[in-house]
Structure 1
Amino acid sequence: MYTVADILAASAARTPARTAVIDGHTRISYGELNERARRCASLLARRVDPGDRVAILLPRGVDALAVYFGAHLAGAVPVFVHDQLRPRQVAHIVAHAGARLVCTSTRHHKLLRDIDLPDAAIVNISTLRESPLLTAVPRIGRDLAGLIYTSGSTGTAKGVAVTHDNLLAGAGIVAVYLHLESRDCTMAILPWSFDYGLNQVLATFAAGGSVVIQRSTFGPDICRTLAAADVTGLAGVPSLWVALTGSGSPFRQSRLPALRYITNSGGPLAPATIDKIRTAQPHLDIYLMYGLTEAFRSTYLDPAQVADRPTSIGKAIPNTEVLVIDDDGRPCPPGAVGELVHRGPTVAFGYWHDPDATAAVFGPHPHQPAGFRDVGPAETVVYSGDYVKADTDGYLYYVGRRDELFKSRGIRVTTSEIEAEVRASGMVTEAVVAVTTGGPDPHLVAAVLLSGGATLGDLRAYCRDELAPHMQPHEIVARDTMPTTSTGKTDRSAVRAHLTTQIATQLTTAATVQP
């Protein structure tokens, strides 16, 4: 396979009658999905030129997949836009991508109110009456295959430019380490505008399996679909697992013998949550993963290691090298904290229309591999901005972002390190730490979701006894829920902004009442 379109075409040619998509009581075969994709391609080929961007503003489902693969067949560049965004966020992505067309539905027209496009550029996919495109527009693996926006929650979202080679490599690598086969049914609950959610579909289709559409994120609804469709794989972010393992969730009592694995990315899973998943479904393989949109997936932890290393992000995915380097570009020894650098076939082209940001993140290999030093320019790698450390066996542990670094009692630390220490208590399912500087030393406050019967008193005692002095929060606040981003991750920025405002108010009030 050379392009993303080949993923669908190959399965349609090999097993046309096999189910590609399950959406409630509806089942669509590979042959039927391929036919719909070719009808969409016929329409798009008449409206756009090869390389033009086509925005897809549709809910997860057959129509969205038909437009996605149809865009590839027409030589266009599809851009998924999450249908839960606000109009100004949709407008930013469509304008920034320079989309020539927006494929949508009548129900989503209200989200287009801020878009400056002629009516002819907005295509209602339900009115499609085209004949199938007979011949795909020729493309090669190094051609642009999509823009994946790193965030849909602000007006500064950056578009990561990915190639066909990037997407095919990611699909193939994940299919290998998840051991995907044609009998697999993968639940699609994550947005396809999210690289993690899109890869689920491409990896499953590359293996000839089925994708099960799940729109509701309500725990009982998810469990009903898992059982009814004999789902074998479920990918999620930490907030999903917290919801599924909460008190009263049917996931804790349901028998799900078909479900053989789950994957987590988008943030670390608290050990307490991992224990609840294992207790509820002891037969499951749990894959803990770390990735970044600029290179898709960097590491995963083998399920056999989860019990012994629940806080590790694992080792490099297949056909990928992960380096840990210091500020001078030298390899870090075990135990030393350094920046994670990703090398491999999933490294993206860069950021769309943003050469400065591209130059800051995508750069030459810090020490070109032997045999290539005298050939030409150094290979491009991704400098993640994430700090990690490796143990003596090579397993990696996330420490925090470069921009999270601060000094507490004279010691460099990150908020992510403190959050990991709080989660390690087993008393919380989520922790977010905010820092306010302005006094002689930073003021630390942690917002937490308590687990089980744990109390704030228990957690405060644990932090006082078990955490190093420079990591101890000055305040701990219990919350019932955490806000989430459009991709379901905990919105750490929003939580920290709220906590920082609270801290500043408290400190100002305290200073005002001083005699």
Structure 2
Amino acid sequence: MLAGDMLRRSAERFPLKTAVIWEDQTITYEDLNRTANKLANALISAGIKKGEKVAMLCRNRLEYAVVFFGVARSGAVLVNVSTLYSPDELAFVLEKADVTTLIYESLFKDKIEGVKGQPPLLSRYVSIGGGTDDTDLADFYAAGDESYPDIELKPGDPFCMTYTGGTTGRPKGVLCSHLNRYITAHTVAMEEALDERDAIGMVTPLFHVAALNIMFQPAVLVGATSVFLTKWSPDAFAQMVRQNRMTAAFMVPTQIAMVVSDPGFDAGAYESWRKVSFAGAPMPDWVQKEMMRLLPNVAMTQIYGQSEMGVLTSLRAWYLQDKLGSIGRQAYNVDIALIDTEGHPVPRGQIGEVASRGNNVMLEYYNEPEQTAAFWRNGWAVTGDLAVMDEDGFITLVDRAKDMIISGGENVYPKEIENAIYELDAVAECAVFGIPDDKWGEIPIAYVLLKSAASLTEEEIVDHCARRLARFKRPRQVKFVESFPKTPIGKIQKNLLRDKYWQGKEKKI
């Protein structure tokens, strides 16, 4: 199935049903389908070719739905760009992805002005919300034909790209096909029991796979109503649930923790809420137990996956008590295994690396042949996560093969922070890793060795990182050291620095 067909079929089944709610704006399936066609045809008329890259920089608002399906039907590839990027990061991604057209919310016009003229292929700017000199999105597609675009597309054609942080210090593009994301949409619809009666809250950013592909696409697939929340807070979420009779949502554990810890918590505000799925970071046991106590009618489903592979496992609500801490079983329509270093499945009860294969797995890391090749092992796509499977088929993660930090549901790669710190002339060596935090799960800490006679303060390092990187990536603490523990080949032994912070604490990844 093509991505555009998900919307077309729901528009045929539920033409007058509300497809998306954003603040005081709504759009029906019939109108969303028609508007997506107009945008697709406008893009084609503007000369955008099949496979060309169109980027979207925008918060959660109604236009994201139009752009998502309009670009999909045009044959172009939608590059979903984080609104948290600094201008340097944004310019890097737009150039790396070969973006030729950028659709952006006017709120970010200053950031856009800072990158204009840098990515060599980027020549077309379309704005959302007014107040810029660039063409307004509504004006851009106003003359577009309302009929379904006449362009040949196949399920295996490239459809969308998201950028994920890389251990090399720069993000890499996860290029997926229509079929890849359809498989994930169907996985979620089935595993989370979504249907056309649901009003589904999109409360994490749509530039993330979690909201866009793991929640919005399934919502459209089944004909549910999507409710977009632009700015998260427990109060805003409670108001959204109450006003829109929201029944389901995907949330990162930090958000759930904020709901159950809210001093103003009112169970009455959540009367309509029946389903929640979570992933993206460790979920403390106390949060799950408190959620079950305060909102016993909300069924919790833990999911696990990656941008590269979609959803791989699920832990349904009825298993939660007995399998607390597990990420669940293999999802019904994907293949996974725990494999050894040679790519062979390990026996149950033994530690192996979580891997998958099949139509759920991405096409490639865009223009990264070496990283793409390293992604595969004996026909299996590897996750970098080590786990163990019990006799019932339930999987528990035991460690990460990489040093990624998950802070508030955001992936933070230490190498990227280290590269920024190394830009400071006074720094001789540094090491960044995650330490436990009650609110965010983990936060980055930087250990820094200064050059002889050099001077630098913690505030200067943090401020430099905040200028160079998205704010959530900045180190929350900096410690100055006189030396580092190292291996015989000179590699800093981060585990020796990190372990003391986790003594007496279970690091569930």
Whether 2:335 is the aligned partner of 1:332: answer no
Instruction: Look up the SS of the partner of 1:278 in the other structure.
Output: helix
* Residue in structure 1 matched with residue 23 of structure 2 by the alignment: 24
The percentage of counterpart residues that share the same residue type is 23
CA distances 1:1-33 after superposition (whole Å, capped 9, x unpaired)? x21011111111222101100112322101111
Give, in whole Å, the separation in 2 of the partners of 1:13 and 1:140: 21
**Matched AA of 1:127:** D
C-alpha contact (below 8 Å) 2:25/2:62 kept by paired residues = no
Other-structure match for 2:143: 130
The alpha-carbon deviation at position 255 of structure 1 amounts to 4.5
Query: What is the CA distance between 1:154 and its match in structure 2?
Result: 10
**Partner residue of 1:449?**
438
Q: Secondary structure at the match of 1:172?
A: helix
Q: Does structure 1 residue 269 correspond to structure 2 residue 274?
A: no
CA distance in 2: counterparts of 1:384 and 1:490, whole angstroms? 26
- Find the partner of 1:312 among 315, 320, 326: 326
Query: Aligned Cα RMSD in Å?
Result: 3.2
Task: Decide whether aligned partners of structure 1 residues 448 and 14 sit closer, same or farther in structure 2, where only a CA change above 3 A counts.
Answer: closer
Give 2:232's aligned amino acid.
Answer: T
CA contact (8 A) 2:241 2:269 kept: no
> Residue 55 and residue 153 in structure 1: after superposition, are their counterparts in 2 closer, same or farther (change >3 A)?
farther
> What is the aligned partner in structure 1 of residue 479 from structure 2?
502
Secondary structure of 2:310's aligned partner:
coil
Q: CA deviation at 1:507?
A: 9.0
Give the corresponding residue for 1:66: 66
Secondary structure at the counterpart of residue 156 of structure 1: coil
2:412 matched to 1:400?
Answer: no
Q: Describe the shift of the 1:359–1:73 C-alpha distance in structure 2 as closer, same or farther (beyond 3 A).
A: same
When normalised by structure 2's length, the TM-score is: 0.76
Tell me how far apart the structure 1 counterparts of residues 298 and 377 of structure 2 sit (CA, whole Å).
39
Contact 2:53–2:100, Cα closer than 8 Å, also in 1: yes
- The code of the aligned residue for 1:326 comes to D
Measure how far apart 1:80 and its partner are.
Answer: 1.5
2:249 aligned to which of 212, 234, 239: 234
Deviations 1:373-393 (A, max 9, x none): xxxxxxxx3111110011222
TM superposition shift of 1:342 = 1.1
Deviations 1:223-271 (A, max 9, x none): 1101110111111112212221224042x54342321111111112000
Asked whether 1:107 is paired with 2:107, we answer yes
Q: Which amino acid aligns with 1:211?
A: S
Q: Does 2:335 align with 1:321?
A: yes
How many matched pairs? Answer: 422
* Superposition map of 1:344-383 within 5 A: 344-365=358-379, 381-383=380-382
**2:194 aligned with 1:180, yes or no?**
yes
Q: Which amino acid aligns with 1:274?
A: Q
106-115 vs 5-14, greater mean Cα deviation: 106-115
2:229 matches 1:218:
no
Aligned-pair CA distance for 1:44: 0.6
Alignment of structure 1 residues 9-88 onto 2, 5 Å: 9-47=8-46, 48-88=48-88
Question: What is the 5 A alignment of 1:443-482?
Answer: 446-449=435-438
CA separation in 1, counterparts of 2:310 and 2:84? Answer: 22
Alpha carbons of structure 1 residues 154 and 46: separation in structure 2 relative to 1, 3 Å? farther
Structure 1 residue 288, shift from structure 2 partner: 1.0
Deviation at 1:394, TM superposition (A): 1.7
Question: Displacement of 1:119 after TM fit?
Answer: 8.5
C-alpha change, 1:222 and 1:154, in structure 2 (3 Å) is farther
Report the alpha carbon displacement of residue 506 of structure 1 after superposing the two structures with TM: 10
Aligned partner letter, 2:78:
P
Q: TM-score, normalised by structure 1?
A: 0.75
Residue 6 of structure 2 is matched in structure 1 by: 7
Alignment check: 8 A CA contact 1:33 1:62 kept: no
The residue type equivalent to 1:75 in the other structure is G
**Is residue 201 of structure 1 aligned with residue 206 of structure 2?**
no
SS at match of 2:306: coil
1:267-308 deviations in whole A, cap 9, x for unaligned?
A: 120001111111210111111111111101111111111111
The aligned residue for residue 182 of structure 2 is 168
Q: Which residue identity is paired with 1:449?
A: D
CA shift for structure 1 position 172: 1.0
User: Match of 1:254, SS?
Assistant: helix
Conservation of the 8 A alpha-carbon contact between 1:319 and 1:345: no
Shift of 1:446: 4.7
- Helix, strand or coil: the match of 1:291? strand
For 1:222 and 1:447, the matched residues in 2 are separated by 26
Q: How far does residue 165 in structure 1 lie from its aligned partner after superposition? A: 0.4
CA distance in 2, matches of 1:506, 1:157: 30
* Structure 2 gaps, min length 5: 128-136, 415-432, 441-465, 486-509
Closer, same or farther: CA 505–287 of 1 in aligned 2, 3 Å: farther
Shift of 1:151: 3.5
Provide the rounded CA distance (Å) in 1 between the counterparts of 2:338 and 2:123: 50
Give the alignment partner of residue 310 of structure 2, picking from 259, 276, 296: 296
